[in-house]
Structure 1
Amino acid sequence: MVTDRRRFLIAGSAGLLGAAVGLRPAAAATWETVLNGSFSGYPALEAAWHYRYPWGSDHNGTARMYGSASDHNHVYLEGSGVLVLRASRISWDEGNSSKDPYLPIHYHSGALHAKQQVVISDQFPQWEVRGEFQAPSARGTWPAFWLTGANSWPPESDILEYKGDARNWFNTYKNASGGWSNTIVNVSNPGGWHTYRAWIAKVSATDADIHYYLDGNWVGQHRAANFVNKPMWIILNLQMEGSSGAPGPSGDTFYRARNVYVGRSRA
């Protein structure tokens, strides 16, 4: 575990933008890096991540997730430190997803969830979750990089989510009113490398504030109600169709990630 010293908002221009919207740096605290460099090779990948979703192979779209230490058809590494998730359309009937809304399976694809969970608490009041991604945005493609409750739902925080067009959805559920908060940002060339980041800070016994960034620029702040002391999975997945429209691509779809990082302050 690597430690250093950080302040409430970091990363140069992101900190300046945070100050511009009225944030105040907190006193320096011990900073711990808990996930970094996990795409350097398969031993590092499998030490830090589990294959598929935490609950299995299916979710809310038409892709079924495949992947294991012996199956890298849909989850694999290329080059230096780049993870690839590949969705391929299938031509046979594989039944329906086992998860609501129980759509027919049209694709095989890939997902990972981190062994390290995010838990906002008195001991770990601030978290940073970020990564660089080349995301597909064609109709029927639904890539995501997100946090979701390990023991209950909500909470949920979507740091990257494209739903069939060039808009990224930064989402938080639930907010103080009991609903969704959405910051929707038009992204030039989502298929190029962009950095997506969430800075999460405990603000009360039950709530946190989440600040979302795209390419180092602050884009929104959401109040995350009842997130404190709720363990959350970190998930990377390439789902298809569903909320991203249909029909999806007839060929392969690729979602690439690098430099995925998670750190936290220790009070």
Structure 2
Amino acid sequence: MLTLKATRISWDKGNSGASPHLPIRYHSGAVHAKEHVVVNDQFPNWEVKGDFQAPSARGTWPAFWLTGANSWPPESDILEFKGDNRNWSNTFRTSSDVSSSSVGVSSPGSWHTYRAWITKVNSTDVDIHYYLDGKWIAKHTGKNFAGKPLWVIINLQMEGSSGSPGPAAETVYRARNVYIGRTRA
């Protein structure tokens, strides 16, 4: 089991380097997979899944996602809570072209399985099917995803899109049974 912790700090750490340059108030963690997911002719189908206990209090922002290793977008958010009990499945094709689906999750802090099944549909595009606890919840098309290496990331951010102020107490985000698989053409 992987446990990521976020701890509120009491000293001035400065501001975030990204707009809107919010103050840094937490130390938290992230894990990037060593290898990339690359949907291509050789491996046209990928499964990315894991079991997670995700915090959902205001100011917490846990995620399990894929993002371009060499450029952004592409991005696919398999698990993303932004300060409440809704999980967001997002597929960014450009900064202004995004498909988003959200579903309320009963007790996000209990174990739930989040999964994406990614399939190459033509020379540039993929279909991404999102699942929660084995139930299909959305399908998005990822334009210009094929052939682009993607990082697999598990991270716990705080505040930002999840609201302020964040929790004063230590926040934990747990993962287990993370699986990344592919099939040959």
Question: For the superposition of Structure 1 and Structure 2, which TM-score range results when normalised by the shorter chain?
Answer: over 0.9
2:8 to 86, 89, 99: 89
Equivalent position amino acid for 1:194 in 2: H
Q: Does 1:227 find its partner at 2:150? A: no
Cα distance in 2 for residues equivalent to 1:102 and 1:119: 32
Please state how far the C-alpha of 1:90 moved relative to its aligned partner. 0.4
Alignment partner of 1:205 out of 115, 123, 129? 123
Matched, 1:114 2:33: yes
- After the TM superposition, list the runs of 4 or more consecutive aligned residues in structure 1 that deviate by more than 4 angstroms: none
What is the TM-score when the length of structure 2 is the normalising length?
A: 0.97
Matched, 1:247 2:165: yes
**Residues 205-252 of structure 1: CA deviation (Å, up to 9, x unaligned):** 000000000000000100110000110100110000000000000110
| Aligned equivalent of 1:137, options 45, 56, 62 | 56
Q: Following the alignment from structure 2 to structure 1, what is the Cα–Cα distance between the partners of residues 105 and 49?
A: 17
Which deviations, in whole Å up to 9, do the C-alpha atoms of 1:144-198 show, x marking residues without a partner?
Answer: 00000011111000000000000000000118xx611011000000000000000
Aligned CA-pair RMSD: 1.0
Q: Distance in 2 between matches of 1:259 and 1:203?
A: 28
1:190 aligns with 2:108: yes
> Who is 2:74 aligned against?
155
* CA distance, structure 2, for counterparts of residue 127 and residue 266 of structure 1: 10
Give me the whole-angstrom Cα distance separating, in 1, the residues matched to 2:70 and 2:20.
21
Q: Which residue of structure 2 aligns with residue 79 of structure 1?
A: none
Matched, 1:104 2:32: no
Which residue does the alignment assign to 2:84?
165
- Residue 20 of structure 1 corresponds to which residue in structure 2? none
Q: Which has the higher strand share?
A: 2
User: In structure 1, what is the Cα distance between the partners aligned to 2:177 and 2:101?
Assistant: 23
**SS at the partner of 1:97?**
coil
| 2-structure distance, mates of 1:91, 1:106 | 7
Write the letter of the residue equivalent to 1:138.
A
Partner of residue 133, structure 2: 215
Q: Secondary structure at the match of 1:130?
A: strand
CA distance in 1, matches of 2:17, 2:48: 29
Kindly state the Cα deviation for residue 102 of structure 1 after the two structures are TM-superposed.
2.0
When the two structures are superposed, what TM-score results if normalisation uses the length of structure 1?
0.68
Shift of 1:108: 0.4
Of all paired residues, the percent bearing the same amino acid is 70
SS of residue in 2 equivalent to 1:243: helix
Name the larger-Rg structure.
Answer: 1
Cα distance in 2 between the residues matched to 1:160 and 1:100:
23
Structure that is richer in helix per residue = 1
Distance 1:115 1:107 in 2: 25
Amino acid across the alignment from 1:131: G
The answer for unaligned runs of 5 or more in structure 2 is none
- 3-state SS in 2 of match to 1:229: coil
Unaligned runs of 5+ in 1: 1-81
Aligned-pair CA distance for 1:100: 3.1
Query: How many residues are treated as equivalent by the alignment?
Result: 184
